[in-house]
A and B are shown apart, each in its own frame.
Chain A
Amino acid sequence: MAIKILRVFFIGLLLLQFPLFQVVRCQSEIEADVEGSELGIVREDVQDFVGGNFKPAPGVETICLFPKNSAKVVPAGEKTELLVGMENVGQSPLNIIAIEASVHLPFDHRMLVQNLTAQVFDNASVPPSTQATFPYIFAVSKFLQPGTFDLVGTVVYEINQSPYQSTFYNGTIEVVEAGGFVSVESVFLVTLGISLVVLLGLWIHGQFKRISQKTKAAPKVEVGTGTTDASMDEWLQGTAYNQSSSKSKKKK
């Protein structure tokens, strides 16, 4: 009776919890980590320009180069450098204000993964009819998953006090895990793999031994019947059987 009550009680408890059950859902986290480095002293009016949307100036060409890194490999958490080449085809000098970049998901450009720190320049200018190069050092978040991402880099500059903005890079980068070959996880994985192989080998070896023992043990069964001779000795004494068994004992 008590068990029946207990059973009913537990079933009732389970049923009560049903509406409270919730499926565990994964939430993709967007890291708010921002890393980078700054070059020189900051201008006062930089905040007005950085983050705004300006049009590119007609006489300016930009180019992006990853030095000694044509595969555009970016180790997560470590500094990566890229060079921005600016050509001023116009008549008046150009003042670079800042270089900024952001990382997006490759299949949906609106999904922002990380905003990289903007690098502001205090006194960087490109005279007319010249080309100049500027470095941009950035680091993506250490916890970013390895894979392909979209990097959008823009340079904000002004010509004759009016701001402009050009996108110097709008393409993919390969984020890889920083760190050498020997790490905690790799050592454990390798040891586990080796131990599993060794265990498998031992098990196969055991199986072989068992099979070989079975075939060898068959003839031994016949020898076992010799031990029962001791109980038969008393009433078989003097008979032909006793004489033959004593002979076999002597042989032993």
Chain B
Amino acid sequence: MARLIRNSLMKALILIFFASVATATGDAPFIVAHKKASLTRLKSGSERVSVSIDIYNQGFSTAYDVSLLDDSWPQDMFDIVSGNTSRSWERLDAGGLLSHSFELEAKKQGMFYGAPAVITFRIPTKAALQEAYSTPILPLDVLAERPPEKKFDWAKRLLAKYGSQISVISIVVLFIYLILTPSKSSAAKASKKKR
């Protein structure tokens, strides 16, 4: 009887331990923000920077008053073309995703090292505003001197990408064609034999 009680007590303790370990990671939101910046050169020669920021909530509870602020683009180097560098949402549920993007036009030439964007949010258990940083971006070579593309570069690129597939398909099609269509010399030989 005592042994039974001891066994059940052990099991209960183990259960409680595991339960506590599972909840030990907390029930707060965990904001993971992904910032991406890409350069596009327009025909007119000006360069545009498209910035997109994805905010994921990998935690276990909702984040309220999520506000994104990206001050890493100084006014003397970039002009805002479309969108806004800051945005706010009411809430971000656990497992949810928020996206924001904007476009800038580059004014000055040179290497640009961007800082991460700042995301602030509130959680019910704490009064202070919580902060989270996004991923940093790779250095951007703004308005770099690009060597002019040689005449048939685009053809070379297409060939490199699809060359093997095109050659294989052409070999197979040629082979099928050769088998299906009888040649003139063989037809003449057949008719001669019949005579």
Known: A65-B56, A67-B56, A132-B133. A83 touches B168 (CB 8 A): no
Interface 9-residue window, one of B30-38, B80-88, B141-149: B30-38
Q: How far is B138's CA from A206's CA once the two chains are assembled, in angstroms?
A: 68
- Contact call B164/A184, Cβ cutoff below 8 A: yes
Contact stretch, chosen from A25-33, A123-131, A145-153, A158-166:
A123-131
- Secondary structure type dominating chain B contacts: mixed
Q: Are B25 and A183 in contact (CB under 8 A)?
A: no
Tell me the bound Cα distance from A70 to B164 in angstroms. Answer: 32
Evaluate whether A133 and B168 lie within 8 angstroms (CB atoms) in the complex, with A65-B56, A67-B56, A126-B133 already known: no
Q: Chain B 20-43, CB within 8 Å of chain A: the 1/0 string?
A: 000001100011111000000000
- Contact of B169 with A131 in the complex, beta carbons under 8 Å: no
**Residues of A within 8 Å of B, CB-based: how many?**
25
The interface residues of chain B lying within 8 Å CB-to-CB of A135 are 34, 135-136
Question: What chain B residues lie within 8 Å of A184 (beta carbons)?
Answer: 164-165, 168
Asked if A233 is at the interface (CB within 8 A of a chain B CB), the reply is no
Evaluate contact between B133 and A187: CB separation under 8 angstroms.
no
Q: Residue among A65, A133, A187 with the most chain B CB within 10 A?
A: A133
Does chain A have a CB within 8 A of B134? yes
Q: State in angstroms the CA–CA spacing of A63 and B57 once bound together.
A: 11
Q: Kindly state whether residue A87 has any CB partner on chain B within 8 Å.
A: yes
Contact assessment for B133 and A39 in the assembled complex, using a CB-CB cutoff below 8 Å: no
**Are B34 and A67 closer than 8 Å at their CB atoms?**
yes
Contact B30 A124 (CB under 8 A): no
Residues of B within 8 A of A63 (CB): 30, 32, 58
Q: Which residue of A lies closest to B139 (CB)?
A: A40
Within A74-119, the residues touching B (CB, 8 Å) are 83, 85, 87
Closest beta carbon of chain B to A61's beta carbon, Å: 7
Among candidates A40, A85, A124, A131, residue contacting B131 with C-beta atoms closer than 8 Å: A131
Instruction: Name the residue of chain B whose CB is nearest to the CB of A184.
Output: B168
Query: Is the Cβ of B168 less than 8 Å from the Cβ of A87?
Result: no
> Does A241 touch B at the CB level, under 8 Å?
no
Looking at the assembled complex, report how far the CB atom of B114 sits from the nearest CB atom of chain A, in whole angstroms.
Answer: 12
With both chains docked as a complex, state the minimum distance between the C-beta of B54 and any C-beta of chain A, in angstroms: 7
Chain B nearest CB: distance from A97 CB in Å? Answer: 15
Given contacts A39-B138, A63-B58, A67-B54, contact A133 B33 (CB under 8 A): yes
Distance to closest chain A CB from B77 (angstroms): 20
The distance in angstroms between the C-alpha atoms of A120 and B43, with both chains bound, is 37
Report how far A182 CA is from B168 CA in the complex, Å.
10
A130 touches B165 (CB 8 A): no
Tell me how far the C-beta of B50 lies from the nearest C-beta in chain A, rounded to whole angstroms. 17
Query: Is the pair B34, A130 in contact by a Cβ cutoff of 8 Å?
Result: no
B136:A65 contact, CB within 8 angstroms = no
Q: Residue on B with the closest CB to A62? A: B30
Mask, A160-195, CB within 8 Å of B = 1, is 000000000000000000000011100110010000
A residues whose Cβ falls under 8 Å from a Cβ of B: 39-40, 61, 63, 65, 67, 83, 85, 87, 124, 126-127, 129-135, 182-184, 187-188, 191
10 A-B pairs with the lowest CB-CB distances in the bound complex, closest first: A131-B132, A132-B133, A85-B32, A130-B131, A135-B135, A187-B168, A133-B135, A184-B168, A191-B172, A133-B32
* Apart from A63-B30, A67-B34, 12 more pairs, CB < 8 Å: A39-B138, A61-B25, A61-B26, A65-B56, A67-B54, A129-B128, A131-B30, A132-B116, A132-B133, A133-B134, A134-B135, A135-B34
6 A-B pairs within 8 Å (CB atoms) are namely A39-B138, A65-B32, A83-B135, A85-B32, A124-B136, A134-B136
